[in-house]
Amino acid sequence: MKAYIFPGQGAQFEGMGKDLYDRFDVAKQRFAQANDILGFDIAKIMFEGTAEELRQTRVTQPAIFLHSVISAELLGDDFKPDMVAGHSLGEFSALVANKTLHFEDALRLVSKRAEAMQKATEMVDSTMAAILNLDDKVVEDVCRKIDGIVAAANYNCPGQLVISGETDAVKRANEALLEAGARRAVLLPVGGAFHSPLMEPAREELAQAIEETTFHQPIAPVYQNVSASAVTDPEEIKKNLIKQLTAPVRWTQSVQQMIADGATEFYEVGPGKVLLGLLRKIDRSVQGTKIDNVSE
């Protein structure tokens, strides 16, 4: 069975999408729509912007979404998913690919999400950190004992868990986790504490936009970050998508469940190959392929 997976924030690169725009009419159409919906020239930033400009949340999220959705559309009749999933932001790309959301509606939600997350990050001094080579339960237990807000945010693969919260609390957690046996505890160059309780203002803002958007019956189940299980009911998809901002991304568990449900081939659609790298660390027995209709 074929599983298509879509990357999240961090997969951006300078010049991204230029080759798609130059070669394909559907890409030109999508970029024009995006410029209109977003109210700024995202094509110019993607094609000519600096790494710093691309790191702005309001740019990064729609940029990765655009690149991923166009790449999936270019597969045409070859796109026959048995299941889909996306890492954090990538869940929106997955929901367009499996026909749950129309492109325009999804891009509006991605834009609203990025703006809401940006605002939430400005309310509290917060950050994230990658914890390497430590059992998930140990990380969870240590975080619970730390004064302040800090919690597991991204279960990326066995031995790689990202924590998120108030900067001081994350730093204290890093020290405690190194003492508990972590090989490394590295602060990440991010704007705030994504997938933590500190994103509650963003969750509330996005919830209204999601509730007002029409979700359709998907052509294939989506394995959502919050539940790490197959979902086909549009209303349940909505609820999980709202919870996603303050809940951890259960990527390890999602991939394991997809494999348990019969996935034997994984295809990463969009910029970069981060998810294929994680796939190899989760289960080397399944095949992973990069959808290569672009040059990077």
The answer to whether 259 touches 283, Cβ cutoff 8 Å, is yes
Rounded CA separation 190/164 (Å): 10
Identity of the residue numbered 75: L
Residues in Cβ contact with 63 at an 8 Å cutoff, skipping those fewer than 6 apart:
12, 16, 17, 42, 45, 46, 54
Q: Where does the chain show beta strands of DSSP type E? A: 2-6, 83-86, 126-132, 150-157, 160-166, 184-187, 222-223, 230-231, 265-268, 287-290
Tokens 């009911």 -> residue? 233
| Nearest of 200, 198, 182 to residue 139 by alpha carbon | 182
Catalytic positions, please? Answer: 88, 195
Burial class of residue 235 in the structure, from the number of CB atoms within 10 Å of its CB (0-12 exposed, 13-18 middle, 19+ buried): exposed
| SS3 at position 112 | helix
Kindly list the strands in the beta sheet with 184-187, ordered across the sheet, starting from the edge strand earlier in the chain: 150-157, 160-166, 126-132, 184-187
